[in-house]
């Protein structure tokens, strides 16, 4: 499994709610993104967010880069501070 991890700054509760509403109204990931899951973490005190999209293969993750990189910055929760493309080394649910 692979994960694309994006850290955002300048995030507000309003932008998080906007993204949440868009996700709930959608039928799934944007066209061209073959994600198997996602999580968004929000630290209101720091105004930061971490978005993690999970992929079954490295190629799926790399293909999604083109879609995510082309997104209008107004469609994201804040300013992109960093993007990491990772292999999931450990996964455990309680």
Q: Running along the chain, 94 residues long, what does each successive block of 10 average in pLDDT?
A: 96 93 87 92 97 96 90 79 95 88
Ordered domains of the chain (ranges, CATH): 2-87 (3.30.70.100)
Query: Both tokens of residue 58?
Result: 């490295």
| Beta-bridge partner residues of 82 | 7
Q: Whole-model pTM above 0.85? A: yes
What per-residue confidence (pLDDT) applies to 12? 95
CA angle 9, 12, 18 (to 5 degrees): 110
Cα–Cα distance measured from residue 83 to residue 50, given in angstroms and rounded to the nearest whole number = 10
Cα–Cα distance measured from residue 9 to residue 26, given in angstroms and rounded to the nearest whole number = 24
């Amino acid at each position: 499994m692979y994960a694309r991890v994006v850290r955002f700054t300048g995030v507000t509760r309003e932008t998080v709610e906007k993204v949440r509403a868009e996700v709930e109204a959608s039928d799934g990931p944007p066209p061209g993104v073959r994600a198997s899951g996602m999580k968004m973490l929000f630290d209101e005190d720091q105004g930061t967010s971490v978005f993690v999209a999970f992929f079954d293969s490295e190629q799926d993750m790399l293909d999604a880069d083109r879609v995510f990189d082309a997104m209008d910055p107004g469609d994201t929760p804040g300013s992109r501070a960093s993007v990491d493309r990772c292999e999931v080394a450990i996964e455990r649910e309680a």
